[in-house]
Each structure stands twice: as structure tokens, then as C-alpha cells.
Structure 1
Amino acid sequence: MSRRSPNLAALSAVAVVGSLLIAPASTAEPAPEPVTDYCREQCHHILPPGQNGNATFAELVAHMLLGTRPPHSDDQLAKYDRLAGGYSELTTGTIDEFFNDNSFGVRPDNVERTYQPREDVTIIRDKTAGIPHIYGTTRSGTAYGAGFATAEDKLFLMDAMRRAGRGEVTPFAGGAPANRQLEQQFFSASPYTEQELQQQIDTVSRFGERGRLALEDAKSYVDGINEYIEKSHSGRYFPGEYVATGHVDPITNEGRIEPFKVTDLVVLASLVGAQFGGGGGHEVQNAVARMSLHEQFGPERGEQIWAAFRAENDPEAISTIHDGQAFPYGGSPANPRGVVIPDPGSVSAQQLIFDPTGSAAETPEPAARPESVNPRPATDDPVESLRGIFDDGVVPGGMGQERGMSNALVVSGAHTESGHPVAVFGPQTGYFSPQLLTLQELQGPGISSKGASFAGLSFYTLLGRGQDYAWSATTASQDIIDTYAVELCEPDGRPATKDSNSYRFRGECLPMQTVERENAWQPNLGDDTPQGSYRLVSFRTRYGPVTHRATVDGKPVAFARARSTFLHEVDSITGFQKFNDPSAITSARDFQRAAHDISYTFNWFYADATDTAYFNSGASVVRKPDVDPSMPIASDPAFEWQDWNPADNSAAYTPFQEHPNSVNQDYYISWNNKRAPGTAGDRAEKGAVQRGDLLDRRVAVHLAAGGKFNRVTLTQAMADAGVTDLRAERVLPDLLRLIDTRPVADPQVSALVDELRAWLADGGKRVETEPGSRDYAHADAIELLDAWWPLLVRGEFEPAVGGAAYQAMTDVMQINESPSGWQNGEPGRHVGQSHQGSSFQFGWFGQVSKDIRAVLGEPVPGGFGEPLCGGGNAEACRQMLLDTLQQAAAIPAAETYPGDADCTPGDQWCADAILQTKIGGIAQEKISWQNRPTYQQVVEFPAHR
């Protein structure tokens, strides 16, 4: 069809008609009988910006012209924002100002709409947040209603994400750089053929009766999605982004919204798993850094520094489990065999893009965001006003970035005022408009739950509550990914090169399997990028996709990534099904057993009226005892996973009792920290200083003083940690102790130290002077630390380890993750501003603390041995701190906070601010930074079945 802009009069008429067809008509169906709710109005939750993520063409035009937003698209944002500045005033009587009631059912005076998309299901939307409460008289009707309601709320988001998971965003939404980055990210992680997607669906039916039910649920769910697609298209109330991307003509309604298939659910599951449910895969980067340290210091001293930096099993690291249990997993053996170290300088990333033409010949750059939240268009033409919605890509930022997620605080009834457990927990899934998660209540045969699910996977509630229990998760990231080095070969016996596409496997020279995507795009209403095309090609071995190529002792090799969940993306389905089944979950132990069925790497937390529980899920493979999972491994059966079958990527997995687990520990905290004593970190971030410390200290100190928690005080502990700068609370005291070993001679530098000291004395928080001021208290000290941190880290480590090793170590883990961006480039410069809230997961926080304490002469378990800073000389290290502090003070604010399309240079608050990244045409306002779950529950059950 033509992509040329229709005339204004015709489009205005379409917009008017569209405004009358925003949603299907309601029906006056009787309200279903309420389900018994044992939380008794003591369950609350919040998910910004709002439940409704669909906007018709008319609503998009109104948003662009007038700044209006569809109902329920932003009505949870202000409540969520309010907690950062108002948590100290929180009371049980004001909790509804910060969270929404998460009770089952809808009060009669709170019913917004009641309708039946099919005779065996009734959906009630509440006035408060527009959440669908789905009541099925049959199990099929319940799943069907979930699909219909989710499509009502998030259809375009679901559509964009299934394209992203297949590596096919650009043909759908245009060739903007962010679209290309997104499809490349997920295609490289899960390059499946359609046959492999179907095979995973077929596998579900072999999981017994629960597998059969799950497959039927999934099919009914897809039927509900497709019913909404058909009705909304014919009724012209489908998402207006389909017009903006040229898929439907705004005048004639010609075009197509492609129906969903069950295999799309596998794609969405693989996308979620790649983003949130894996761990490991950094073995090549580890090997390069380790090798660099060995070259600089020799094997013995180099290994000591590497071990301290990686913090594999740091004795100072806090653990979620602290009841005396240990759960060894993922550690490096004393004398490993099969370790493969690439030749220096030989490593190169596997080529992914081939035959680029047009705009695809250009290297994608990070996309800028729109210049303002609601830019007034320069034209009155509605279609022209939509031009530019996707100039930055369908997902212009945030998705696909690797980062730790989520937090949890769970206190047992022995330490609460009521005697019942209290939990404040939720996942950090990033901030998007619309949000990746969707809220719902599901009530039907064998299903009774309410909470959040990823849109497109919401036939079960993934995180939420049942009748008398609640659960949530944090990303665990235990190592379920290994890297195997395969020798390259040529089938005809010629000498192989790094470009050879055959490899040796168990004595044979096999061709690599290739999976390809032919992606081409044309300019359309939502993308001013010129037309272009390219091929995405994944080269796969029996172990998995190739990620790098190199030489080892001069011989060419490919490094292939083996992931235990590869080809098993939907194996977790029965675990989630049990979470939703009240007959399956009657105790904490039942919940743990259900969580064991989930193959993705999550920390699961549970609370009911009497018990709390924790379980670490994941397809944790059983490795040979002499294999080092942190390093590339030789491709030899002697070093493969125990009982590994390359035909279906199955293996032996650790049994239930070897997964970190606990019931009724005094309290649990998790912020992607160490799971339990003995569990090795997959990277270098689970060490002596980690953001989980902020939670643990607040709970432990309160209990040590004889205090007890309630919903308010536990929420306040979370919120206080969520506005605190980890570097200030946990590392700055060490730096000041070294500086204070004698008076600072220079009065100007002494004044800088005093600024930092005053901020620390006030809690080291990044909070506004008053809510809405957009000015930080202690703004100068915050700016000073932001500018100082990259300078002091470089000054502390680079002279000691050398430039090459320092760079290799930053490739393993960035030195910082402050709210305003990653400071991992040149001194004082940020690399990107995330605007995504989640902060302080990655950074050299523990490494700096350990080394400075060693300089002070203190015993440091798991330290570097001889201190590195200042060559081990305390005075030289102290002088480096003072020199870099003075240099930091001279850096202009516009360089520390360089600005972007959303923020002017030097705007500190804005640089930290959270933005809801657009996946569509509706933008949202900025909110203040807080390091907090995106979806969050506050629960305390006073009774149970």
C-alpha cells in the first residue's frame, strides 16, 4: 500500500471515528462470586506507568497534538515516584498513596467495565488502575480471557517483542539503529529455526498431565489474543502504532496485524530468559584478563590478583542464606584440566552481519531519545505528526542491556510485630511505556492468582499472590553457560583459518549449522531511516552459537556458548503453573518444589501467614570436578557436562537439595548478591561490597537492636536503601580513613573532603531537597563523587597492573554503575546515561574497599595480598586520592553530566532521572531516581486456609 501521507480532512475524520471505537462495548454480566482472600486488605502492589499500553490512532494523534494520554496509561507513575521523597512519612493509613490494593476481586463501586469475550469467561476492569480481573467457568475460558485482556492492554508491545526475539524487528518497525541493535542482541543469544521452536512446544506435551494442561492453556491464550486482533482490526480500535509503521492504512483499514502462534510464546520466553534468567558466558573475557595479569605479574602473583578481583567466593560477601548452610556450585577447582587460553591479541568477535546495503551499511549508534516528552508537531497533519515516533527505534534504549535485576526483603513472623511474615519484593525489569509486565487476576478451575506477568506470557501469573501466599523473584545469575573452544578445520583437509566454518567434534570435521534472517526495511511513517537490508547469520556448533574466534598456540579455534536452557525455553512452564494452582501450593515446601521445576536462574521468595522460604531455581548443570566453568573449556568429552546429549542439549542437573534453599530463616534479603556460602559468582560483582549490603544492614541492625518489622518499616528499609549511593555508604568511609591519617594541607582540598564527609554523615543519599524540587541535597558532594570515582579507580589500579590488564579487567566488569550512567571510559566521562533506575550492581566497589583497607594495614580476607594502590605505599596512595579528588573538582558539571536528548548538560537530577522508554507512541514524564523494583509487592497474610 502507499505510505504517502493522506490529506488532513480524511485523516481527521478517521481520528474522530476512531475515538468512538477505542474499546469494545461493555456488557452487563453479573459479577462472579468472590474468591476467599486471606490477605484481608494487607496485600499491595505497584507497576508504573499504567496498565493500559494500547493507544488507538486517534489517541496517538491527541497525544502528539495535545499531550493527552489514554486512560490508565500513566495512573501508577505518580504513586511510584512519590515513595522516593515520601517514604519517611509512610504509615499503614497512607500506604494507598504509594501502592494499589492487591486484594482479590473488585468492589461493586470500583467496577469500570464488565464484559464477556466468550461465554465461559467474564472480565471485570477496575476503576483504580484498569486491571483485568478474569473469571473463567472453564480452564480454557480463563486462559482465553487472559490472552484477550493482555492483547487489549499490550498488543503492539507483544508484537514488537516477538519480532525482537526472532531477530526481525527492522522489517516490522524500520531500520533505526536501536531496532538493529535489539534484533542482533536477541538473535545472537537464541538463533532458533521455526522447527526448533515447534519442537519445544511438542516437548511440553511429554511433561505428563501438567504438560498437557499447559499446552492447552497456551493454545487457548493464543486464541484469545487472536480474537482481540480480529475484533479490534474490524472495529478500528487496534493500536495506532500499526498505522505509524505502515501495516494498516488509516483510511481504508487495509493491511494486516499478523495473528499470534503458540511458537511466538517460545520466542517471548527465550527473550525473557536471555534478559533475566541466565548466568555465565563471560569466559573469553575472563581468560583475556587473567592472561594479562599473568603476563604482568607472573603466574603466582597474577593468579592472586585475578582471584581477588573476580571475588569468586569472597569470604566478605553477604549471602541471602546465612543460617550456616553451604551450597558449593560453580567454583574453580584447584587443578583444572581442559582450560583453553587464547593467544594474546588473537580474539575477535564472531561476525553477525553480512551483505549490508543502504542504511544497514552504517554501524548502528545508540539512539537518542525524543527531545521532549510531548513534542508539539510542526504540522497539523495527524499522520505527519506521527512521523518520528520510531525515529529512534521501536525500543530506543534499555532493552537488551545486561544488568542485575530486582530485590527482596522477607522477614519471618518471629521478627514482626504481628507474628506473621512480612515481605517487600519485586523484579526490576526496567522502565518502559508500556511496561513489559502486565497486571491481572486469574480465577478459574485450577487457577487462582493475581499479580504480574510478562505481556505475551500471561496465561499464568509469574510474580504475585495466591489465596493465602505470595511470591517473587530476583535474578540469580548462577553459571549455567559454558564456553567451549572447538578446533576449526576444513572438510577437504586444507589448513584451517579463523574464517573456517567447520569444526572438529568427537573426531569428525563437521560443518557449522547456520541460522539466517534476511532483514530489509523501507522508509515508513515511523522511520526516517533510508531503506536498507542485511543478513543476520548465526554460526552454531553442537555446543551452541559461536561468539568469538581466536588462535590457541597458533591454531584457529571458535568459542561456542553452551547454555543449559538452550532448546529448553519452555521447560519452566509447569513450575509457573503450580504457582497459580491453590491445590499445588499449600506450604512453603510445596512452593520450593514448584520452583525447582523452573529452569531459569532465579532466586524465589515466598511468604504466607506462618512461613517464609527461599529457593534458587535453574538448570544448574553437573560439571566434571576438574573443569573450571569460569574459563573456556576444550571441546573434549572428558570436559563436557555430565550425561550431556548434544541431540537435545540435555544433561545431568543438580538435585533439589543442592540448590540453595531455606525455610524460615530469620530474614532474607536479595539484590542479585551472593546466594549462599559456596556459590561462586558468575562474574566479579558478588564481592565484599555489593548493593545487597544496603538492604542487609538496615534489616540486621534493626533486629540486632531488638526491633520488629511491619509492612511500613520494611518498606521504609527498602526505600531508604533505594535512594542511597552504595559508594558513599560502603566505600567512602574507607577512603576517608586513609585521607584522615593526617591533616589535609591544602585548604581547598580539605574543603572538598569536608563536603563528602557532610554528605556521608547525612546518609549518602541522592534525594531532592524537597519532593519535586529537582535539586539534590548535597548536590556538590554527589557531583564530586560522580566525577572522582572513575579517576580514583584508574589511579588506584592502572599503574599497578598496567594499561593492558586494566583494560581487560574493565571488559570483565565495568568500574561503575552510577544512576547517571556508566563511568567506564576516559577519566571523568560517562559512557551512556541509562535513565533506568537500577544502579550499583556492577562496579569495582569491593575491589577498591579491599585494596584501601590493605593499604591501611588491616587484615583483608580474600584480598589482593600486597596492596596495589600507590605500589603498596600508604602515603603514595593517599596522595593519589587527594590529587584525583582535586582533579575531579575541576571537571565541569557539563562533563560529569554531559546531557542527552532528554537532559541539558550539567543537569544532575535529570541525568539520574528515570525515563519510561517508549515501545510505541505514548511517552511519559521523568521521575526521580530510585533504585527499586519496577513491580513491587508489600504483603502480610494474617490468615491461611
Structure 2
Amino acid sequence: MQRRTPRNAFDRVRTSRRLFGFLKTASVCVLITGLLVPLTQTAASAAGTAASNDYCGGQCSDILPPGENGNATLAQILLNQAFGTQPAHAEDQLGPYANLATGYPALTDAKINTFFNDASFGVPADQIASTEKPGGRSDVTIVRDKKTGVPHITGTTRYGTEYGAGYAAGEDRLWLMDVFRHVGRGQLTGFAGGAAANQGLEQQFYRNAPYTEADLQAQIDNAVANSGDRGAQALADVKAYLDGINAYIDASDSGRYFPGEYDLTGHKDAITNAGTIEHFKVTDLVALASVIGSLFGSGGGGEVDNALSLIAAQSKYGVEEGTRVWESFRERNDPEAALTVHDGQSFPYATKPADAQGEALPDAGSVTQEPLVYDRTGSAATAAAKGMSTSAAKATLGSARRGMSNALVVSGKHTASGHPIAVFGPQTGYFAPQLLMLQEIQGPGLSARGASFAGLSMYVELGRGQDYSWSATTSGQDIIDTYAVELCQDDYHYLYRGTCTAMDKVEQKNSWKPTLADGTAAGSYTMRVWRTKYGPVQYRATVGGKKVAYTTLRSSYLHEADSIIGFQMLNDPDYVKGPADFQRAAQHINFTFNWFYADSQHTAYYNSGDNPVRATGVDAEFPVWARPAYEWKNWNGDGNTADYTPPAAHPNSVDQDYYISWNNKQAQDYTTASWGDGSVHRGDLLDDRVKKLVAAGGVTRTKLVQAMSDAAVADLRAEDVLPELLKVVDSAAVTDPTAAAAVSKLQAWVSSGAKRTETSAGSKTYANADAVRILDAWWPLLVKAEFEPGLGTDLYTALTHNLPVDEAPSAGHGPTGSHAGSSFQYGWWSYVDKDIRAVLGENVQGGLAHTYCGGGSLTACRDTLISTLKQAAGLTAAQVYPGDDQCSAGDQWCADSIAQRTLGGIKHGKISWQNRPTFQQVVEYTSHR
């Protein structure tokens, strides 16, 4: 059987002769044992009752594909790989989620739960699938419902409740939790094998958070010590939660129903049951939190790339004009940008100083990235030679640019019922098993249902309380600064406040041997990070001929555990009783998120994160000298603490007419670290639709879901930029038949709504397929032809490092990789829009410093667009969609499709593309406490 290169450590299960041989020869008793569930989980006969603490009136819904069950025994994995069978509740939320893409036009309130789950508290008696008393405890019960298998955890003591949450987490995500505690420590390959994706993941996160065990423990100690009674309660909750996880590990081990990946990676023996699954400890949860925080809640850190593109601009145009050109592309405070807080409030942060101080721009050509990996042997050396160490990771979890999550929230003043409505959720990617898990948790001081990251589910992190719901989107404001530390003595000593100080060397050695699940040959390497008080070293360079190390310091570095208090508050019904309480809870979360809230009377918004107070004159866009004059105000290098901007300075609002967020700009004068917050942003897809609904009034849950869904299948380029391009092209001026036919198809697509949708549900063929193909081929060609001649190759290339040109659904080269769902966050949409409108002589606020298309000539611009359009139209589908490990060349639908990237042994089918949150809620509360 021919093998192909695996996407991750477990893809070889699909083709491994050894596994299929094992399937044929394994004893019947082993297979039956593997299919058994815990004997304590039996069919329920107890009557369910309506929850008296639920004020949503049956109008709360949620969805989280592919399914709640993220664990599978060895037998279930083998059957899945051989015959496609699925364990119970492994993918029962995938179909309803996928079907909304074609089902939303006919949606009604009565049909919402065809595409979502009922998120009411409790389980009706006729819907109880099982009950269990985890660990035989009398103070907690886990009930699972028939439809989704979601655990509903009810405890009579706080300890018992959290114990049950830990036990349920083990039941649903034990293997994934184990994977990510090893990722957070830089130890994945030693645990799961040396496949390229595993190497890439551990390298990506270790570079940013090279923590020792002492660092992890110190974070727990500091978080508890600085948070009073709530800190003590959080530690008690964590310990009870860990007891529950470890009780499940012991029970599943003795009962032989633990996840089969432990067999496949050599940690357990399928026949003898020899081997161990390590218990979880407190520091494991900090390691997990460091991964999640790095992925979703740490904006900034692009100062070196910014400096390189500024240098290129100044080289092209001179210092003054080059700076003006660079600023126009940066769009720090674009007046045409879509805003979440759009009522005129201003929240200045990271704004451009009048006279920048302390900048430490590198000498041209001097920047090199600090090496991370040393001492490669065996397959590690081979992977290095082939350049495989990071590419696979960036296609899944490791991307530094991830645009995620959206929110649509409408005030009760504009709804049919008079109650606020929200449709919101995080976009955490598509994985099997999913990074998030659903649960309901009810106990002393705890009352919530929703999603939590696996291994951090002692509290619901995104979901609903008794009479309120909350959610988040990634905000991306800059909490990371790059410092140029001056070297002394040698390359591994630096000046810290005038004293020559040795850098700390932190190392992690990993070695692996082949396993059943991972055909990678034996190998090893060592990851090495040099740390300073100003953070880990990321680059080396010279500044004015002087050797420096560039370090990155983020405010959440060494503080990954601090946010636990905010989540504890959000789960506490005695704390959150209205929007002000919600905002105060969100203020305790130090990661960079936009938080949204809705109850039966109010809506609210708050932007969280520890925003450092920078020294006067420091420009957050560029590296600065590591000297006391340019440090954060009252910064303490021993514990990485500083002064942070007060809550009132963070974008916040209560009862605005509506809120939208799709990782767009938060408010006037609030500068994020993201490039591309300009005139065309995918946030406009939401803003345009919700603004129209609010103007008409009478908004319903159905209408708001439809607005989200319509935006989710829209091509941003086709909706907001293509009409301007077609104005320049002017069909009457097109004489070439190939180009003329392409123009006709593009015009028809725009007229039909510019959607990427199937001709009919399940057809796997796009309506307007030729137009979609033409635009996918045309966009990168037109952008290059429009801008490179004027900018020059060096500056054009440098700017594309700041902001990729394109992120279409099929763009495997894009920031989030192929089959990732999330699209149109990063691209040159705003630049093209502003430039083309300038060529047309239309009003442009915050325009680019120069006009680039055709040098500003309408005729020359038209010629450029037509010539590139003709070139694009001549490309075949196989050329535009070249195929990959998921799809054959030329398969347009498949190229766009969403794949659940395997992080375990179970695989799922692909679904049609739609650009929406992974976990999503639809809520409209009917009453309040």
C-alpha cells in the first residue's frame, strides 16, 4: 500500500498495514473490552425537571462541531479508520452545523434548533441518556442527554461539582488534554512521535513561552497570592478538578476504556494493558493555558517586521516620504474602518507619538532569527534538511496570524420582542477532537452552560449563566513590545539597567521512536531559548553597527494563570447580575479579547487585556532600546509586572444600538497590532447587514442568524471590492473575448450576491463556479500588477510580510492555511479599494500616500486590470486549485471545504465552506432575576 506524507502524527492510522493487521488478529475480548463504557454510566430512570434557575425561556441555543465525544478506544479508532464508523456523539453536531450554510434562507424561529442544540439548563426526563456518580461520590451527578451527550454536572458541594467537571473532561477529552499539556512544555514529540506537525507545534509555542516547571508553579502561587479569597477558591477548584481527571484516568485504565491513542503511541499495550497514563497536576493546567493564551489572546509582536518594511519604504522614497507611505499602508487609525464601538467614543491606545523616542531600528540586512533547534539526530536531521519543522503546524494551530470569532448583538430597542438578541461565538478552528468542549455546571457558586477549552473546564469560558450570556472575539491590541538589548562580554550577556547580566539558557531535549501511529523514524533534537528580563530572544541584528538581541516581552508572559479569576466570576450567579458586573469580571482577564454580553434588558461590551502603560514617546510599532527610559511604566523585570491602562481606558460600552465584531478595529483611536483595519474588512460584512436590520427594526433571532449566515458564505472581495474594479474595467471598453467573457461572469456573480454557495445542498458544485475561479486566480495577479511597479519589489515584498495579499477559503498559502474555514481576515482588500477609488476620482478618506494602479491613470489602470484578468481567466481549475492531501486538483468545492484536522485517531468528513465561529450561541432572554 502506497503511503503519503502524514499531515500529523495520527494520519498514518489510515494506511498503516500494521494497524489493519492488528485489527484482523486482535482478540475478540480486547475489542469488546475497548467498546465498553464505564459500568457506572447506566441508562437513567430518574425523572428530569425543568430548571428553576433558567431565565432564557427556551430561547438559548448553541452548537460545537464535530461532537462532544472526543475520546475513542483503540477498537473504535480502528473501526473508524477501516470502515468509517463513528463513536457515539463523535460527530453528531457536524451535520447540523454544516447544513446552515444552505438552510439559512428558509430559517424560522421554530427551525433554529434544527441547526443548533437547545442550550436550556437541565435535561428533560425523556431526553436523559445516562447518569453517573463519578468516583462513587454522593455529592455530584453527571447526566448526559440523548441528542448530544453533553455532560450536565450538578453538585451539592463545591468540591464535588469541580470533581465532576474534571471527571467529565477526562471522559470527553483526555487524549487532547494530554497532547496540549505536552505542547505547552515543548514535549510533544517525546510524547506523540516525531512527525513534522508535532515538531512544528512544540517549536512554535516553546519559542514564545519557554517556561520551566518552577515558572509554571510560580504563576499559580502568584495568581493565588494576589487574588485574595477568590484566588484561594480558584486553587481549591483546580485541585478538585484535577482529582476528578485523575479519578477518570484510574477508572479508565483499570476498565481498559481509556483513549486508544495511548496504545497507538506506545504508552499502553493493547494486549497486556502495561504502561501508564500520567496523572495531571496543577502546573499542567498552566502549560495548557499558555498554549491557549498564545493562540487566541496575545496581540502584537510584529515590531521587527514593521521596522524592515519601514526601512524598505525609506530606502525607496527617502526618510520623510517613505515614512508617510509606510503610515498610509499601516492604517493605524483609518477613518473608514468598521468599529465595534461606533457611538463616537474615543479610546486612545498605542497611538503614533508626535516625536518618537528610543527607536532601535536594525541596520539593513542585519536581522537574523534566533536559532531554536540544535543537536538534530535521526529523523530530526532529515526533517531539518527538508524544511518540514514548521510548515505543517502553521497549516493547523501554529499560525501567528489567526483571525477568529464573530459577534452580532442587537439592543432590545430594535428587536421584535423588546429583549436583546445575540448571535456570537469564538472561531477556534476545526479539529478532531475539537479544542473546546461543552458542559453545564451547577453547584455552590457555579451556574453556567457553554464551551471551555479542554483541560481548563473547571469553569465555562464562553456561554450562558442563569439570565445572561457572554462570548468573546480575539481583539489583537498590542500587549507585546520588542526590545533591543545591548550585548556585553559576548553574545549571551546583555546590559540590564547598566549591569552586564548573563542570559538564562532554557533547554528542552526531545527524542522519539517509531510507534504504530507515527511512522517517523527515531530521532531527537534540543530546543534552546535564551531569556532576558525583557523576554525571550527572538532575533539578532546590529543597530548603528552595534550588536543587539531583539527580545519580545508581552504583558501576559509569566502570567498565564491570572485570568482564572475573571472566568470564575463569569460563572458565579451571585457576582454577575448585570452589565456592570460582567465588565468587572472581564477586567480580570489579561488576554486580549473583545467580550460581549446580553441579558433580557441590556447588552454590553468590554475589551480585556493587560495593556501596558508605555513610556512617553515610545512608538509601539517598532523596536526600542532596552533602557530604563523606554521600559513600561513601573515595570518590574523580576515578575514582569507594570502599570496597565485603567478599565475606563479600554473600549467599553453598554446598550449601544448594536455591536458587531469580526476581529475588526474596536473604537476610534484604539490601535491594534493588526494590519488591514481599513475601508474594507470582513467586519463590514456583518456591519452592513446588522445596520440594515436595526434601521428596519423588529429584529428576531431568525433574522440575526440569517445575517450571520449570509456573511458567512460571502466573498468579501466580490462584495466590497469587485464592483469598483469592474467600474474601472468598464465592460464597454473590453475588446478581448476572453476578458469580456470573464467580466460578464463576474458581473453576474456580483448581481446574484457574491456568495460561495452550492447549487443545491450536497451538490459539491458552486453556483457561479467560473466567476469564483476567475476571482481566486485574478486577485493575487491584480494586486501584484497594481502595486509592485510603483512600490518596487523590495518594498512590495516587505509589505506582504506585514499583511498577506490574500486569504481566500482555498488559499493554502494564507495565514490560517487551507481547509480552515476562517477567511478574508488578512488581505489587501482595503489597499485595492482605496487605490481604485482614487483612480476613479471618488472621495477617499485616509487614502494611500500615492495612487498606484496605472500610476494614477484611469486608462493605464484599466489596461493593467484587463491584462491580469485575461491571464486569470485562462488558468484552469487545476491550476487555480492544485490539490493537496485532502483534494484532487481542480476540485473547487473541495479546495474550499472545511476539514476537521485530526489531533487524535478519529477522522471526520469534510463540510462545505462557511466563515463562522466554531462554537456559536443564539440567545434571547425573556426575563431576569
Structure 1 length normalisation: TM-score?
Answer: 0.94
Q: Which residue of 1 aligns with 2:767?
A: 777
Report whether the alignment pairs 1:269 with 2:289: yes
Report whether the alignment pairs 1:99 with 2:119: no
User: 5 Å matches for 1:348-427?
Assistant: 348-363=368-383, 397-400=396-399, 402-427=401-426
Cα distance, 1:684 vs structure 2 = 1.0
Q: Which residue of 2 aligns with 1:790?
A: 780
Q: Which residue of 2 aligns with 1:17?
A: 32
Comparing 55-64 with 258-267, greater Cα deviation is found at 55-64
The AA in structure 1 aligned to 2:378 is G
Q: Which residue of 2 aligns with 1:109?
A: 126
For 1:32 and 1:753, locate their aligned partners in 2 and report how far apart those are by CA, in whole Å. 61
For 1:437 and 1:121, locate their aligned partners in 2 and report how far apart those are by CA, in whole Å. 23
Q: Is the 8 A contact 1:483 1:559 kept in 2?
A: yes
Q: Which residue of 2 aligns with 1:932?
A: 916
Q: Which residue of 2 aligns with 1:737?
A: 727
Q: Which residue of 2 aligns with 1:203?
A: 222
Per-residue Cα deviation, 1:397-424 (whole angstroms, up to 9, x for no partner)? 3455531110000000000000000000
Report whether the alignment pairs 1:872 with 2:856: yes
For 1:714 and 1:9, locate their aligned partners in 2 and report how far apart those are by CA, in whole Å. 52
Per-residue Cα deviation, 1:368-425 (whole angstroms, up to 9, x for no partner)? 9xxxxxxxxxxxxxxxxxxxxxxx9999834555311100000000000000000000
Cα distance, 1:112 vs structure 2 = 0.4
Report whether the alignment pairs 1:747 with 2:746: no
Q: Which residue of 1 aligns with 2:927?
A: 943
Per-residue Cα deviation, 1:677-721 (whole angstroms, up to 9, x for no partner)? 0111212121111000000000112333x2321000000000000
Per-residue Cα deviation, 1:51-95 (whole angstroms, up to 9, x for no partner)? 000001111121122211100000000000000011001101111
From 79, 89, 101, the counterpart of 1:84? 101
Q: Is the 8 A contact 2:200 2:398 kept in 1?
A: no
Q: Which residue of 2 aligns with 1:585?
A: 576
Comparing 888-897 with 607-616, greater Cα deviation is found at 888-897
Q: Is the 8 A contact 2:452 2:462 kept in 1?
A: yes
The AA in structure 1 aligned to 2:798 is A
Cα distance, 1:895 vs structure 2 = 1.8
Report whether the alignment pairs 1:122 with 2:121: no
Report whether the alignment pairs 1:62 with 2:50: no
Q: Which residue of 2 aligns with 1:372?
A: none
The AA in structure 2 aligned to 1:469 is Y
For 1:359 and 1:723, locate their aligned partners in 2 and report how far apart those are by CA, in whole Å. 42
For 2:608 and 2:694, locate their aligned partners in 1 and report how far apart those are by CA, in whole Å. 29
Q: Is the 8 A contact 2:393 2:399 kept in 1?
A: no
Cα distance, 1:869 vs structure 2 = 1.8
* 3-state secondary structure, aligned to 2:855: helix
Q: Is the 8 A contact 2:66 2:92 kept in 1?
A: yes
Q: Is the 8 A contact 2:395 2:818 kept in 1?
A: no
The AA in structure 2 aligned to 1:362 is T
Comparing 394-403 with 901-910, greater Cα deviation is found at 394-403
For 2:919 and 2:57, locate their aligned partners in 1 and report how far apart those are by CA, in whole Å. 21
Report whether the alignment pairs 1:191 with 2:210: yes
Q: Which residue of 2 aligns with 1:758?
A: 748
Q: Which residue of 1 aligns with 2:472?
A: 473
User: 5 Å matches for 1:420-499?
Assistant: 420-490=419-489, 496=490
User: 5 Å matches for 1:275-354?
Assistant: 275-354=295-374
Q: Which residue of 1 aligns with 2:12?
A: none
For 1:136 and 1:921, locate their aligned partners in 2 and report how far apart those are by CA, in whole Å. 33
Q: Which residue of 1 aligns with 2:252?
A: 232
User: 5 Å matches for 1:131-150?
Assistant: 131-150=150-169
Q: Which residue of 2 aligns with 1:72?
A: 89
Cα distance, 1:30 vs structure 2 = 5.0
* 3-state secondary structure, aligned to 1:516: strand
Q: Which residue of 2 aligns with 1:649?
A: 640
For 2:484 and 2:827, locate their aligned partners in 1 and report how far apart those are by CA, in whole Å. 29
Q: Is the 8 A contact 1:476 1:616 kept in 2?
A: yes
For 2:712 and 2:52, locate their aligned partners in 1 and report how far apart those are by CA, in whole Å. 35
For 1:396 and 1:69, locate their aligned partners in 2 and report how far apart those are by CA, in whole Å. 25
Per-residue Cα deviation, 1:324-377 (whole angstroms, up to 9, x for no partner)? 111001112121011111111111111000010111113466989xxxxxxxxx
Q: Which residue of 1 aligns with 2:807?
A: 817
Q: Which residue of 1 aligns with 2:3?
A: none
Structure 2 length normalisation: TM-score?
Answer: 0.95
From 633, 652, 663, the counterpart of 1:661? 652
Comparing 795-804 with 407-416, greater Cα deviation is found at 795-804
For 1:336 and 1:102, locate their aligned partners in 2 and report how far apart those are by CA, in whole Å. 51
Note closer, same or farther for the CA distance 1:838–1:832 as it changes in structure 2 (3 Å cut).
closer
For 2:734 and 2:60, locate their aligned partners in 1 and report how far apart those are by CA, in whole Å. 53
For 1:702 and 1:530, locate their aligned partners in 2 and report how far apart those are by CA, in whole Å. 58
Q: Is the 8 A contact 1:398 1:917 kept in 2?
A: no
Q: Is the 8 A contact 1:395 1:917 kept in 2?
A: no
Cα distance, 1:870 vs structure 2 = 1.7
The AA in structure 2 aligned to 1:914 is I
The AA in structure 2 aligned to 1:847 is Y
Note closer, same or farther for the CA distance 1:363–1:312 as it changes in structure 2 (3 Å cut).
farther
* 3-state secondary structure, aligned to 1:154: helix
Q: Which residue of 2 aligns with 1:381?
A: none
Query: Which stretches in structure 2 are left out of the alignment for 5+ residues?
Result: 1-16
Note closer, same or farther for the CA distance 1:697–1:308 as it changes in structure 2 (3 Å cut).
same
Q: Is the 8 A contact 2:46 2:125 kept in 1?
A: no
For 1:917 and 1:671, locate their aligned partners in 2 and report how far apart those are by CA, in whole Å. 23
Q: Is the 8 A contact 1:29 1:116 kept in 2?
A: no
For 1:355 and 1:267, locate their aligned partners in 2 and report how far apart those are by CA, in whole Å. 25
Q: Which residue of 1 aligns with 2:7?
A: none
Q: Is the 8 A contact 2:195 2:520 kept in 1?
A: yes
For 2:584 and 2:763, locate their aligned partners in 1 and report how far apart those are by CA, in whole Å. 48
User: How many residues of Structure 1 are paired with residues of Structure 2 in the alignment?
Assistant: 906
The AA in structure 2 aligned to 1:435 is Q
Q: Is the 8 A contact 2:35 2:75 kept in 1?
A: no
Cα distance, 1:625 vs structure 2 = 2.6
User: 5 Å matches for 1:890-909?
Assistant: 890-909=874-893
Q: Which residue of 2 aligns with 1:375?
A: none
Cα distance, 1:4 vs structure 2 = 9.1
Per-residue Cα deviation, 1:721-754 (whole angstroms, up to 9, x for no partner)? 0000000111111111212296222233122111
The AA in structure 2 aligned to 1:886 is K
Q: Is the 8 A contact 2:48 2:124 kept in 1?
A: no
Comparing 624-633 with 281-290, greater Cα deviation is found at 624-633
Report whether the alignment pairs 1:242 with 2:226: no
RMSD, matched Cα: 1.9
Q: Which residue of 2 aligns with 1:374?
A: none
* 3-state secondary structure, aligned to 1:408: strand
Q: Which residue of 2 aligns with 1:379?
A: none
Q: Which residue of 2 aligns with 1:708?
A: 698
From 842, 866, 885, the counterpart of 2:869? 885
For 1:665 and 1:288, locate their aligned partners in 2 and report how far apart those are by CA, in whole Å. 40
The AA in structure 2 aligned to 1:292 is A
Q: Is the 8 A contact 2:476 2:674 kept in 1?
A: no
Per-residue Cα deviation, 1:118-138 (whole angstroms, up to 9, x for no partner)? 221100000010000000110
For 2:123 and 2:168, locate their aligned partners in 1 and report how far apart those are by CA, in whole Å. 16
Cα distance, 1:515 vs structure 2 = 1.1
Note closer, same or farther for the CA distance 1:20–1:750 as it changes in structure 2 (3 Å cut).
closer
Q: Is the 8 A contact 1:398 1:836 kept in 2?
A: no
For 1:912 and 1:396, locate their aligned partners in 2 and report how far apart those are by CA, in whole Å. 14
